[in-house]
Amino acid sequence: MGYTPMIKQYLQIKAEYKDSFLFFRLGDFYEMFFDDAKKAAEELEITLTSRDGGMDERIPMCGVPHHSAENYIRSLIEKGYKVAICEQVEDPKTAKGVVKREVVQLITPGTVMEGKMLEDKENNYLAALHVMDEQTYGFAYTDMSTGDTSVMRIESSWSAVLSEIYNRPIKEIVVDETIDTDLKNDLTDKMQLTLSTVSEHIQLPHEMTPLLADVEDVLLQHVCKQLFQYVYHTQKRSIDHLKKAQVIELKKYMTLDMYSKRNLEITHSMMRNEKFGSLLWVIDRTVTAMGSRKLKKWLERPLLSRHHIEKRLDMVTGFYDQFMERESIRESLRSIYDLERLSGRVSFGNVNARDLLQLQNSLSKIPLIKQLLKEFNQQSLQDMADKLDPLEGLKKLLENSIKEDPPISITEGNILKDGYNEKLDEYRHISRNGKDWIAALERKEKETTNIKSLKIGYNKVFGYFIEVTRANLHLVPDARYERKQTLTNAERFITDELKEKESLILEADEKSVDLEYQLFLIIRDKVKEYIPALQKLADLVSEVDVLQSFATVSEENNYVRPTFANNHQVKLEQSRHPVIEKVMKDESFVPNDIQLDEDKFMLLITGPNMSGKSTYMRQLALTIVMAQVGCFVPAKKAELAIFDQIFTRIGAADDLVSGQSTFMVEMLEANHAIHHATDKSLILLDEIGRGTSTYDGMALAQSIMEYIHDQIKAKTLFSTHYHELTSLEERLQGLKNIHVRAEEINGDVIFLHQIHQGAADESYGIHVAQLAGLPSDLIERANQILTQLETKNVGNYEAKQQLEPANQAEQMTLFVEEERSLTKQPKEEENLIAMINKCDVLEMTPMDAMNKLYELQKKVRGMKGRK
């Protein structure tokens, strides 16, 4: 005995979508079977049942109602799964055997189109990657909801690819079948992406080839085809709103790798991984969803062209200088619908009448925005007004057709205005007059029968009927009334006269609804013709929104317009950290000056923890990012260079995903900066070397500073607790010592957060521990040890014993052992070092080397035994 025909059909379709949940339409439910059912029941927390499938064992089964399936689909998509929607594609009444079913759409994390599954202010990207070799990659990404598509050639390293992925909200990536397993694992495990594969042999549909019109590079053409083929395969419908692929030349933008974006908290805070506490949180005063998305794009790619930066700053200045006009612009923008995503919905065929009404209302605001932009003194804003097309033809079409308060459904009628279509008006006339006739008939029958409670009703099953309560049945005229339905407390009747009118009314209603649906589809197709113009308008409106946002936040927070130096110097007066000063609210943030030039391009910062070293470093980087996206900056005066890259190593955090320690992460990030920085870059290194032993850390820190100073000459801020490094100022001409000032008053340390010239004289480590709330007896003991270390020679074993009471010998070993290494070495160790130095390794045979190593090893073991 085999499976039933329906289960066989399910298995046949499921075989083509093995990596997806198959939502199999059965009546009013989407059903899932076998492993899909087990997994879906667990993920969605719904009941797992079973059914007879024709075999001896019952088949696992679960389902979700068709009308509420969107919420369940969204839940699966958010968890990284794919969902194949399988619908009935023939009328069950005419089907011979099992109703024909097909997958009509494959919904994946990167191809979501439904509004409820998307964040209004976030893009939702589907990406594609093609690996040419270890240093050459083709990378493309598109937002299906807006149609934006970008492609780039990455000629660097795999880490650069990961940075591009990290820097934007990519949910899914398409790769070819031959990609290396290690790279796959990075994409799925480290970047948390849904992975999809396509064949290397790509056949792009003819209608999608125009999307490659501006792409000449063969590698970029290949990765775009990879992307578009997947889109075509999954969507199975019109995708006319996709824009031509835009080639991004990375050399035109500042590079912000994933380390820097994370460490500087550009779009998300490190602690909570949310917008609050990030730079985006501070400067996002946009009032439209598409404006907020554009702001994020600008933050992802700060400009390198001084001309383009100044052009943005000119427009921000225009908005800044004219408050009243700017506020009017903001108020008008609040009424603008998300034109980008509306274009996608129109193309995709899931736009409704309410969407079009919102579009009409949005277009009605464009003439006012044009007029307001013309009132600004800034010529570039007036020029932008000339580019805004209010799309009068589309606006009139919608004004003449869509009713003021249409229903959500487009299949139930009542969405088009009277007067829009003559035939529709005729049907409506019959329907309305017929219903007036019904009301008149009800009054007439009440008078004729003398049944005051008589009423004429309607339902979809029985149509129109006359309802009489049981108490009045003796008054019913049997000759004219024909019994239709019996209820508990009443009887329902029909008359020949009512039958005749019912036929006319219902026919008119049915034809009216059908005609209205067909007319709406025609209107939607006409709107589709305006998609390119709508997308252009959306781009301009979102740009206006971001620029006014910059002006608004600049005025509110007392930011200043930056200027740009030709000699690549940085001079900030009373610079502030934009996020921290916002979080502090009423507390006053302590501003500081920052100066870097060609002669002194490296600052070595010393001072205690919690004094503000990291804040000082971050605020410089954030100021540069703000300036190069075209925003004013938090300072009294700002003269800046244009930086090609920003590299950061700030904060201590293990990379648990990769199993790497803090020190390894530290070294990897430092290495990344050293290999890619130029003399036009900014490097921020905070406490390099603290993850290893004191001598190792100090040696690495000094070596890194010397290398950057001598070989790269990048603008660099380097903070450290190794006070010994401050002596480098004497021989590194480009280095200058600065420190964060602190004062000790009555035994308490006060952090002034002020930057001063020269090196710090104390670290105040114990005071910081006290502020952190460590036990008072522990703090007291630490002060005792510190005093002894500062006044006694603890470089030998006997001196150590004086520090350590018998009951604390083991606990304190860690501290004194390190201190011993910082002082004079015992005689035996000096002799051992002398022996090693005398070895001429280049002249030794392998056997001689082994013998010498064995001899040294015996001496070391003997020393350990005596200790």
* Residue positions forming the annotated binding site: 607-614
Tokens of 447: 């008078």
Nearest in space to 562 (alpha carbons), one of 641, 615, 647: 641
Place of tokens 């919608």: 398
Nearest in space to 596 (alpha carbons), one of 683, 519, 538, 664: 683
CA–CA gap between residue 374 and residue 741 (Å, rounded): 51
323-333 and 531-556 helices, crossing angle to 10°: 140
Ordered strands of the 194-198 beta sheet = 194-198, 170-176, 125-133, 136-143, 149-154, 246-247
CA–CA gap between residue 213 and residue 481 (Å, rounded): 73
Tokens of 631: 């925003």
Nearest in space to 145 (alpha carbons), one of 73, 66, 242: 242
- Do residues 159 and 137 make contact, with C-beta atoms less than 8 angstroms apart? no
- Amino acid found at 626: M
- Amino acid found at 617: M
Nearest in space to 420 (alpha carbons), one of 507, 342, 518: 518
531-556 and 306-321 helices, crossing angle to 10°: 70
Nearest in space to 151 (alpha carbons), one of 239, 85, 73, 214: 214
- Give the angle subtended at the CA of 789 by the CAs of 788 and 794, to the nearest 5°: 105
CA–CA gap between residue 10 and residue 6 (Å, rounded): 6
* Cross-strand pairs, 173: 127, 195
- Do residues 701 and 688 make contact, with C-beta atoms less than 8 angstroms apart? yes
Tokens of 683: 């490097």
CA–CA gap between residue 466 and residue 492 (Å, rounded): 5
Q: In the 8-state DSSP scheme, what is residue 246?
A: E
Tokens of 701: 């820190």
DSSP-based three-state secondary structure for 564:
strand
Neighbours of 482 (CB within 10 A): 13
- Do residues 114 and 97 make contact, with C-beta atoms less than 8 angstroms apart? no
Work out the burial of residue 68: count CB atoms within 10 Å of its CB; fewer than 13 is exposed, 13-18 middle, 19 or more buried. exposed
First-to-last CA distance in the chain? 82
Work out the burial of residue 423: count CB atoms within 10 Å of its CB; fewer than 13 is exposed, 13-18 middle, 19 or more buried. exposed
The helix or strand, by DSSP H or E, that contains position 741, with its residue range, turns out to be strand 735-745
694-707 and 809-822 helices, crossing angle to 10°: 40
CA–CA gap between residue 431 and residue 507 (Å, rounded): 9
Work out the burial of residue 204: count CB atoms within 10 Å of its CB; fewer than 13 is exposed, 13-18 middle, 19 or more buried. middle
Nearest in space to 139 (alpha carbons), one of 239, 235, 242, 246: 246
CA dihedral 180, 184, 187, 188 (to 10 degrees): -170
Tokens of 295: 């702001």
Tokens of 633: 């900056």
- Amino acid found at 709: H
What are the binding residues for ATP?
607-614
- Amino acid found at 384: M
User: Within 13 Å, how many C-alpha atoms sit on residue 97's CB side?
Assistant: 8
